[in-house]
Amino acid sequence: MKFVTRLLGSLWGVYALAVFIICALLSLIIVTIVPGIGARRWLTTQVVRALFLFTAIPVDVCGLDKLPPGHSVVVANHASYIDGLLLKGFLPARYSFVIKGEMRNIPIVHFLLRRSGSRFVERFTTAGSARDARQIVKAARGGQSLAFFPEGTFVVEPGVGQFRPGAFVAATRGGMPVVAAAISGTRDMLPAGRVLPRPGRLRIDIVAVTAPDDETFKDHRLLAEHARQQILGALDEPDLLQE
């Protein structure tokens, strides 16, 4: 019985990977030929939603009504490569994702992400990091909605780690609300080091919105920790900074 369960799970994983590849190719065509960043964002969002639909992955989204009607900065915990797809598919299309700069080294991926409105942050060189940070702050000041994974990367070990300051500096200087989102289920579905996803249920909880006039906005470090604690409170995972 266990063998049959594992076999069915593996077959589903192969199918899900094939659907992902088809959706990625379709997205690549869209961002290549469709004019206008707004149209490209909307269409790629629909493609990502189709990915979850055709793989029969159930996704619960709670609290979308808490999102500010205008522009904001969304921050979420990071546990898997699926996290970006999940937020892309179920947040409003206006959000631009801020992604680690290493993705610039993968030409096709970089092209797809850039053409769909993503921004990149260099993590390992001071000059590059400062340049990218200035561009992100400029985007925030211009009223562009942004989505970050402030942990920067993910690991096999469950838990929420340190939040990098970029998202919170951008929100503070741009005077934009910070939206804390908790993602559940993606670590079990596709943990670090695994190629084929497992079947499972995913969830996004919009747990808190911190307004620009909140006292925590006076210090971006306090704002980061405030958002981190809000996310931790919605997850059944440990605080990696307390271990």
Q: Is residue 41, in this structure, part of any structural domain at all?
A: no
The whole-model pTM stands at 0.90
- Number of domains, the chain: 1
Mean pLDDT (the chain, rounded): 88
155: in domain: yes
Tell me whether residue 128 is in a domain: yes
Residue 132: inside a domain, yes or no? yes
Say what the pLDDT of residue 234 is: 94
Q: List pLDDT tens digits, range 158-210.
A: 999 999 888 898 888 888 899 999 999 999 999 988 889 999 999 999 999 99
In a domain, 2, yes or no: no
pLDDT on residue 6: 82
Domain with residue 107: its CATH number is 3.40.1130.10
Q: Is residue 162 part of a domain?
A: yes
Q: pLDDT (tens digit, 9 = 90+) per residue, 133-154?
A: 677 777 777 778 889 999 988 8
Position 52 in a domain: no
SS (H, E, C) 160-219: ECCCCCHHHHHHHHHCCCEEEEEEECHHHHCCCCCCCCCCCCEEEEEEEEECCCCHHHHC
Angstrom distances, CA of residue 189 to CA of 23, 76, 82, 235: 19, 17, 8, 16
Looking at the predicted structure, is the pLDDT value of residue 124 above 60? no
CB 71 within 8 A of CB 171: no
Is residue 14 one of the residues assigned to a domain?
Answer: no
Whether the per-residue pLDDT at 126 is higher than 50: the answer is no
What range defines the domain where residue 151 resides? 58-242
Question: What pLDDT band is residue 130 in, cutting at 50, 70 and 90?
Answer: low
